[in-house]
Structure formats: C-alpha cells, structure tokens
Structure 1
Amino acid sequence: MKRLSRHLFQDCAATSLVTLGTLTFLIMLPQILLLTDVWINKGAPFSVLRQMILLAIPQFMVGTLPMALLTGILLTLNRMARDSELVIIKASGVSIWQMLRPVGLLVVLFTVLSLLLNWIWVPRAFFEFTTLKRALLTSSSALTLQPRTFNRDIPGLTLHVERQDPISGTLEGVLIHDQRNPKEVVTITARRAHPHTRADNKAALFLEDGSRHWVTQAGYYRHMQFTRFDLGLEVVLGLVPAHQKESVDELDPDELLAMLDQGTPEKRHAALLEWHRRLAFPAATLIMGALALPLGVRQSHRTGKSFGFAAALLILILHFLLLASGEALATRKFTTPLIGLWLPNLIMAALTAWAFHFGAQGRLAPDWRWPGSAAPVPDPAPPDPHGSMTR
C-alpha cells in the first residue's frame, strides 16, 4: 500500500506541477508581451523587465493553482485507467478512501501554497510591481514618447511632441496639457524640451522658447511668454517604492485588519471583501482537488484521452462562474461578502460530498426511479449454443 501511495502521489504531483507551469505561462503571455513592449520602446533595462515578470507570477498563480491541481489529478487517473492500472487497484480491494490519503496530501500542500500566496506573497509582489511600473513609466531614462501621439503615461499630464532625438532625448514641438491641479488647468507650448532629474530625484522638463496659458480661479485668462521654464513632473525617479498603498490588493494582513477597524464604511467593505476573497480561493483549491478523486476513479480503459481535460474544464468554468458572480454581487452590495464568496464554495463542497458518497459505492449518481415504479428488469442471458432445443 505504501508503494501504491507513493506512486500515486508522485504521478499526480508531477502532472499537476507541469500543468501549473504551463497554465501560468499561457495566462501570463499577454502581460509578458506588454512588458516586452515597454522594454523595447521605453528603453528599460532587461533586469527590470525580468524582475517585473517574476513579481507578476504570484498574482497569476492564485488562479492557476486550483486549475492545475484538478487537471493534474484527473489526467493522471485518466492515464491509469487507460493502462488498466485502476482496474488492478480496484480488484486488489483498494477503496477510494485509501486512495484519498496520497491525493489528499497533495491537495493539502497546494492549499497551503495558495494560502501563502494570497496572504503574504501576492500583496507584497503586487505593491512592488506597481511601484516598478510607475517608476519605469515616469523615469527620465524611460521617458521615450511616441511622436505625434498624445502620451498619458504620467497621471494628469498629456504630452504631445513632434519629434524626439533618439540619442539625446531632446523633445521638439512640445504641447503639454497639465490637469494635475483641477482648479487651474494649464496649457504649455515650447519649441523644445530637455528631460532631466532634479536634486530631489524628481523628473522635470527644461522647456525653451514657449508660452504658458491658464485660467485663474477668478475666471481671468492669463498668458506668459518664456525663454526658459523648468516644469516639474512631480514623480520620483529610480526603482524604489514611491507611493502609498492605495489598493486593498497591496495590503498585508495587519494593514487589512487596521482598515477593517479604522477605515471609512467604503474602505471597510472593500477590506472585508478582500479578507474573504483571500480565504475563499484557497478553499476553492481544496475543494477542486478533493472533487478530482471520485471523478477520476470512475474512469475506465474505454475513456478517451480528453476526458480528464474536458471534465476539469467544465468543473472549473462552473466554479469560477459561481465565484465571479458571488464576488460581483458582494462588490455591488447586493449581498454580504460572506455569502457572496462562500456560497459558491459550499455548493461545490456539497457536490464533492455527493461524488464521494456514490463514488465509494462504485457509482457517481443514484439509480433514479419514479415513485411506485418497478425495478429495472435485467437483460436476459444469451442462449446456450450447446443446449437442447425445444419443439
């Protein structure tokens, strides 16, 4: 039994890990292409690109963990069924509850990994990723603007340039629309501009031969000609944390608890929703892994190769549709976060208990009959070709 448990655990773990890597890469591919575009067009260092890709991995693994676990277990059991290994295991008297021990160990490991991702690694990685992205888009070394295009990389600023020197970075034919102060919107034109860094490590544009237009709070139009003008972009350069944590996705558990206790009603609701979401997704991983076993052991050697993938896909679509719908209802306050995020898990847990109950009996569903109807009549035995014939 120990050898069987070791064999089952190793096969399920190997298939699940390969599936995890494949699914994570496929889902991350659009994000990798976007970061590659920033690397090519913005001139960002490759080391920064590599760090941003590594920081994005935990965010995507939160969703791919239950997918990989369910798919890996089903594919492994599907292969064992096609090779008649499941038939031999069942004929040896091994029950589904005995097979649950090695598979359950793998499910617990994946669930613990999901908890660590949701509570520790993802908030830190999301905060560092956002910091790197903001610093990258607003650093002078990455201030490569698309000519004859309205560039809005810097919040509150719209920049339009006719040409940029690829070597010196000098901008020519500059038009700037500054809305960072809603009470005093400014429009600036300049013949040329030179990006540079101030002593406080903030980005700025040194403008030459231009004009500045704005309307005061009293409603008066103002116009100013200048030969030289230094416009601060008010963004910190360098790849260091330069912004406060604004989203609940970036908060550590202690900060999330502080928001639950001291935040405004809107922030408390968002923090409560995030708290339940960080617990609901690991619970979904546990349920998906447990549901895979009774579905997998009911396969036979006649089952097609695509059965495991098709079954996993249908279950995943159902579960994540329920989770997404519940989270959307809780976000819009049509229901509480507790109900919105945990009712889908309760439904899938009931389905898992159903599958285990009938899977232990060698079937996945009861024999349905209308009340009062007779039991189904078994098929008659075939005639014996060597028997006697009656006249």
Structure 2
Amino acid sequence: MSLLNRYVVRQLTTATLYALVALLALYFFFDVMGQIGDVGQGSYNNAKMLWYVTLQIPAHAYELMPLAVLIGGLVALSQLAAHSELTVIKTSGVRLRRIIGMVLQFAAVFAVATLLLGEWIVPAVGQRAEQFKLNATQDKISAGTRSGIWIKQNNDIINVAEMLPDSSLRDITIYRHNDNFELTETVHAAAATPLHAESGNDATWHLQQVRRTELQSNRAVAAHADTLEWPAAVSRQLLNVLLVEPEQMSIAALGTYVQHLQDNHQQTTRYELAWWRKISYPLAALVMALVALAFTPQQTRHGNMGLKLFFGVCLGLAFHFAGRLFGFSSQLYGIPPFLAAILPTLLFACLAVWLIRKQERR
C-alpha cells in the first residue's frame, strides 16, 4: 500500500471510528433510560443494569456500522476537500478509479468487522445478555449458556435446552418432587410444541419421544411413550431467552433451519430473508463508502458541515428503513427474499455510481 493510500485510509478509518463511538454512546444513553424502570426487580441493580446495557453494544455496532461508515467517510472526505487535499490528489494524476479503490479498501475493513460481529460475536453476547438479565430479575429461573434454562414450577424443576424460532422446545427434562421435596419421577422429552399456539395458550405442551422414570420405594420403573400432554403453565415470555431470532442466527444456522422447514413443508420466507440479509449486510459498508464519495463536494470552504452530517444521517436512516420496508414487502406481497434483501443495497450502489460519474463529468 502506497503512502497516499495509507494516508487516505487512515483519515477515513479514524473519522469512522469516531462516528461509531458517538453513535454507540447515544444508543448507550437511550438503553440506560429504557432500563431504569426495571432496576429493583429481583437483584437487578444499577451495576447489573449497566453491565446488561454494555453487553448490547456489539449488537448496536453491527446495526450501526454502515451508518458510521457513511458519516465517517463523508466527514473525512469533506475535510480533505476543504483543505484542497482532494484537489491536489486529483491534479497530481491520481485517477478516479484509484480514489474509489482507496475508499473501498477502507470500507472493506468495516465490512469484515460487520461480518465477524454478525456471525460470531452478536449471537453469543446477545444471548448471554438476556440470560444475565433474566437471572437478575427472575427469582425462579436460572439460565446458563450450556445448561439451558431452569424453571421451578410448584414441586417440579424443568430444564429446557433450546427453543427454536417456531416456538418449539428441544431436549426437555422434568424433575418431579413430592411435598418433602424428594425426587419421585423424571420425564425427558426430545421435543415439545404448544397445543394451542394459535390462541396464545401456553398452558399445555405436546411432548414427543418421552422417557419416564418413576422412583418407587425399592425400585425404578421406566416407561416410554411417543407423545404426552404436559400441563405446564410456563409463560412463553420466560422462555424467550432461548428463542433464536432469525436476525441473530449465523448464516450456517439459518441455512440449516431453512432446510429443516422445507423438509417439513413449512413457511420459510422470514428465514430466507434473514439469510440473504446476513450475506448482503457486510456489503452495505462498501456501498455507504461509495455514497459518501458521491456526496462529497469538490470545495467545502463555504459549505455547512453540520448540514452535510445531517444529510448523511438521513441517508443512512433511509437505507436502514428501506431494508425493513422491503423485508415486510417480501412477507406481505410474496417478493422473492433474495430480491427484497439485496435491492436496497443495489439501489444505493447504483445511486452512488451514477452520482460519482455525474460529478466526474463536471
């Protein structure tokens, strides 16, 4: 990498990091305001609230990365233009193609960071954050990353290992006790589904592939059953800590689950859309860098930097809401998930290329 490339990339990267930190600080403040009302529930105190909000930072960083690239790129390139550095670079023989290459080199770093956050860091940290808050606010629930979730209901202790996006449970174990809290029976089921999911009634679950072991005075009696109705008044809200949201699943996990739904002849649109968005979202950093270059004026000595920053934020928000709009349209009107996921990025990329070419002709 040449000296000029390193200088431009460093300026762009520094400005983007400042923008990302500022945006995260703003979101941190809003999260604190939103969590204050929960302080005092169980052992959820101010220190635990601040730690929970801190664990939300990777998820916010993932969401805000393209916006930070846009704002940072716009600020850095505007400063280069204001100091006539951009003019000097162009008049010294550096072609537009090379300038675009430098901008894309800078954006590629944040695209890779977005991919790493979305695939490994956000799912793990997000689940740990919800488990941490649940442990602090609920006295009868213990959630662990490896052991699943533990729930005490009357004289029963229930362990649920996993909850899938369709609200079905996997690997459930029930420990039944008598009034003296002596273990009398264990029930293990490979899977469970709510019998009345349509009406929202969670009081009865349909257990599948059940193994029961009854502990008698001098022996243990085992029995097997294909299905069993389980009257467990466990709120689905308490189990949502195990719910793997499509947006938080990795590309590989989403692909596996989409295949599972297809094999069982179930609706896959939401998960296919999430899969394509996971693939295309890192590219948004590259596109936002091009948009920043496209909207960088040649001379900003008399320009209003605050207005340009506001315009940059509006562009980033437009991109964010365009993605959501196309996502809803895909589910409502049957737009192919691939098209709904890639179209906002493609439209902004075409806009950036058109404006760059128009600016160069001048």
Residues 248, 105 of structure 1: alpha-carbon distance in 2 compared, 3 angstrom cutoff: same
**1:304 to partner: Cα distance:** 2.3
Aligned residue in 2 for 1:341: 341
More helix by share: 2
Q: Which residue of 2 aligns with 1:255?
A: 253
Question: Equivalents in 2 of 1:95, 1:244: separation in Å?
Answer: 53
Q: Alignment length, in residue pairs?
A: 273
TM-score between the two structures when normalised by the length of structure 2: 0.65
1:101 aligned residue: 101
Deviation string for 1:250-277 (max 9, x for gaps)? 4344432221111255553222121112
Residue by residue over 1:321-349, the C-alpha shift from the partner in whole angstroms, topping out at 9 and shown as x without a partner, is: 32121011123353221121212222112
Q: In the TM superposition, what is the alpha-carbon distance from 1:103 to its structure 2 partner? A: 2.1
Counterpart Cα distance in 1 of 2:44 and 2:314: 41
Q: How far 1:61 moved relative to its partner?
A: 1.4
- Following superposition, the deviation at residue 280 of structure 1 comes to 2.8
Contact 1:245–1:251 (CA<8 Å) still a contact in 2?
A: no
User: Quick check: 1:31 aligned with 2:26?
Assistant: no
**Closer/same/farther in 2, CA of residues 96 and 199 from structure 1, 3 Å limit:** farther
Q: By how many angstroms is 1:32 displaced?
A: 2.0
Q: Do 2:42 and 2:139's aligned partners in 1 also have CA atoms closer than 8 Å?
A: no
Provide Cα deviations, 1:38-66, integer angstroms capped at 9, x if missing partner: 34554425664344223211211122111
Q: Deviations over 1:219-246 (max 9, x none)?
A: xxxxxxxxxxxxx9979xxxxx996434
Q: Equivalents in 1 of 2:76, 2:353: separation in Å? A: 21
Structure 1 counterpart SS, 2:44? coil
Q: Which residue of 1 aligns with 2:130?
A: 130
Aligned to 2:78: 78
Q: For the residues of structure 2 that align with 1:199 and 1:21, how far apart are their CA atoms?
A: 54
CA distance in 2, matches of 1:92, 1:59: 42
Look up the match of 1:291: 291
Distance 1:105 1:63 in 2: 21
**In the aligned structure 2, how far is the partner of 1:333 from the partner of 1:133?**
38
Q: 2:259, 2:32 → 1: CA distance?
A: 38
Q: Equivalent of 2:243, from 242, 245, 254?
A: 245
- CA gap of 1:249–1:311, structure 2 versus 1, over 3 A, is closer
1:60 aligns with 2:30: no
Residue of structure 2 equivalent to 1:332: 332
In the TM superposition, what is the alpha-carbon distance from 1:119 to its structure 2 partner? 1.9
Q: What is the rounded CA distance, in whole Å, between the counterparts of 2:248 and 2:72 in structure 1?
A: 31
> Equivalent residue for 1:268?
268
Bigger Cα Rg: 1
CA contact (8 A) 1:327 1:341 kept: yes
Partner of 1:176: none
Question: What is the match of residue 139 of structure 2?
Answer: 139
Q: How many angstroms apart in 2 are the aligned matches of 1:86 and 1:59?
A: 35
Contact 2:251 2:279 in 1 (8 A): no
Structure 1 equivalent of residue 164 of structure 2: none
Change (3 A) 1:46 1:140: farther
Distance 1:233 1:313, change over 3 A: same
Other structure's SS at 1:332 match: helix
Q: Deviations over 1:270-317 (max 9, x none)?
A: 221211121232222221112212322534433222243133134223
Q: Equivalent residues in 2 for 1:206-217 (5 A)? A: none
Higher mean C-alpha displacement, 262-271 vs 6-15: 262-271
The 1:246/1:12 distance shift into structure 2, 3 A limit, reads closer
Structure 2 CA distance, aligned partners of 1:2 and 1:68?
25
Q: Distance in 2 between matches of 1:252 and 1:73?
A: 28
Shift of residue 27, structure 1, vs aligned partner: 2.4
List runs of 5+ in structure 1 lacking aligned partners.
143-154, 158-197, 201-231, 236-240, 364-391
**2: CA distance between counterparts of 1:90 and 1:36?**
52
Alignment partners' CA distance in 2, 1:141 and 1:119: 28
Kindly report which structure 2 residues correspond to 1:96-245, keeping only aligned pairs within 5 A, or say none.
96-139=96-139, 244-245=242-243
- Contact 2:276 / 2:337 at 8 angstroms: preserved in 1? yes
Maintained 8 Å contact 1:107/1:289:
yes
**Alpha-carbon contact 1:86-1:297 (below 8 Å) kept:** no
Q: Secondary structure at the match of 1:306?
A: helix
3-state SS, counterpart of residue 296 of structure 1: coil
